[in-house]
Amino acid sequence: MKILPVALLYFALSALRAADAPAKQPNFVIIVSDDHTYRAIGYNNPDVKTPHMDKLAAEGIRFDRAFVASPICAASRASLFSGVFPQQHGTVGLFRSPFLNSVVKEKRFVTLPAVLEKAGYHTALYGKSHLGDPTEFGFAEGREIEDRSDVETFAEAAKFLAREAKSGRPFLLWITPRSPHLPLTPPDAFMDIYKDADIKLDPNWREEPLVQSFFNQAPAGEAISFRDNKNLVYPQAPAGCTGGPPRNESQMKEVIKAYYAEVSFLDSQIGTLVEQLKADGLYDNTIIIYLSDNGYFLGNHGLGNKITMHEESVRVPMFIHSPLLPVRNSRSDALVSSLDVYPTILDLAGVPAPSQLMGKSFRPALNDPSAVVHDYVVSECVGIPERRLGVGHRMVRSDHFKYMLSSSDEEAFFDLRTDPYEMNNLIADPKLKDEIDRHRKMLGDWSAGVGEKRMSQEEVEATKPESKSRDSSSASEN
């Protein structure tokens, strides 16, 4: 009979030791697609068939108001890795060298993979880097993959997962598919999904844009440019539909079908990846985060490409999925920035964050989807063409207002509750003067905080015409 108390004590001590033992660090799979606008995913648009991403979002937490630090590929990616705005790390457009200088040579900023590596994580990036060799800026392994179908990218991801399933160490796998970036070349099976689809154009669709700086994807005062113009959209494009806008209504609908088909193909590849996580025994301890480097215009405002501060350009689909989440099957209206991904991952991993970060962890919204993360978020695209620092667009996006400022000092103000397609500029509305001034101050405070620099008109003129070649390994794409 004396054995019983001893046995109870043993089990109590065992339970106490288990409670005191550190929890196993989660794995992270981050999927950053290319040019995926927030309206082109099934849970936001039933015209788009994305059953796998819809399921992941439904079982996890989706963030319906996620914005990027900059709506251009290299700048956005450099901000994701460094946690700071483009004007801080230096890559404001497509050139990778300023980012590499500030991170590798000057060591002013430490990247997310480098921080996790020191904390015992094994890190890898496979897919479109846009910043060169990922091992140069903190990843333990990985490479730029040129395969536009993303088949090779997901094959490398599968190999990585199979290896890490045997290692027992925590990992960060950063997957960067090229889809749905132009040229649009989806497999026929996915084009067939949309063959007879009744595509509806958004209310702000135009055949060509207004001639104002906010719709100008070139420097202020220069001719409007469309980076799409010299790119094939997809091989089977109908006559007159192989370049960028202007396009008529029927042509635009064909482009959208091909774009949606690319998104659906990517969705199927993500579905296969999730099945592998399960088969490798990694699923239960892995956090999946999906977002895009920027959005994309599909004829909205008469534009192709991205680069401006409109919702189609700066707002992206984003969701988090994991059995580890404290709250699941939910959605959040919190304003979040792509700069928040870095501190959130560190927070979830239990790793201290460096002081450089301009974002904040949105972990509170994972515990309570109604939690507020930011009162406002900021985005900038101020280096088009490259090296004309300060040339372009900036925005402040608050709960339901947006303030936009161009490098030619034109302003716009939108009430997104009544005008979600940003068609009615209220900057001259006297009833909104206080709100407009409040948003001007927000942008001014941000500008001072990042040490914003803007070229004078004389300096801009001195850079024309540009003759320097781009130094990015894939700078022909943005």
Q: Among 255-264, 314-323, 444-453, whose mean pLDDT is lowest?
A: 444-453
Domain locations in the chain as residue ranges? 24-371
Does residue 242 register a pLDDT over 70? no
Which residues does 121 contact at the CB level (< 8 Å), separation at least 6?
Answer: 25, 113, 169, 170, 171, 172, 349
- Mean pLDDT, residues 253-263: 95
- How far is 436 from 457, CA to CA, in rounded Å? 26
Q: Among 166-175, 224-233, 431-440, whose mean pLDDT is lowest?
A: 224-233
pLDDT classification of 54: cutoffs 50, 70, 90 = very high
- How far is 289 from 347, CA to CA, in rounded Å? 14
pLDDT classification of 461: cutoffs 50, 70, 90 = low
- How far is 59 from 190, CA to CA, in rounded Å? 25
- Mean pLDDT, residues 135-156: 97
- Mean pLDDT, residues 208-212: 84
Q: Across the chain, which distance is largest between two alpha carbons, in Å? A: 94
At residue 465, the pLDDT reads: 44
Peptide bond into 465 cis (omega under 30): yes
- Mean pLDDT, residues 102-130: 96
At residue 228, the pLDDT reads: 61
At residue 452, the pLDDT reads: 80
At residue 144, the pLDDT reads: 96
Q: Among 42-51, 115-124, 367-376, 452-461, whose mean pLDDT is lowest?
A: 452-461
At residue 14, the pLDDT reads: 40
pLDDT classification of 240: cutoffs 50, 70, 90 = low
- Mean pLDDT, residues 299-303: 91
pTM, rounded to two decimals: 0.91
At residue 462, the pLDDT reads: 53
How high does pLDDT run on average in the chain? 88
pLDDT classification of 55: cutoffs 50, 70, 90 = very high
DSSP, collapsed to helix, strand or coil, labels residue 76 as helix
Does residue 214 register a pLDDT over 90? no
At residue 94, the pLDDT reads: 83
* Angle ∠(332,338,341) on CA atoms, nearest 5: 80
User: Helices H, strands E: what count in the chain?
Assistant: 14, 13
Assigned fold of 24-371? Alkaline Phosphatase, subunit A (3.40.720)
Length of the chain, please? 478
- Mean pLDDT, residues 89-116: 93
DSSP, collapsed to helix, strand or coil, labels residue 119 as coil
- Mean pLDDT, residues 395-402: 98
Which residues does 304 contact at the CB level (< 8 Å), separation at least 6?
Answer: 226, 227, 228, 229, 244, 245, 297
At residue 350, the pLDDT reads: 97
- Mean pLDDT, residues 301-315: 93
pLDDT classification of 429: cutoffs 50, 70, 90 = very high
At residue 325, the pLDDT reads: 95
Q: Which amino acid is at 140?
A: A
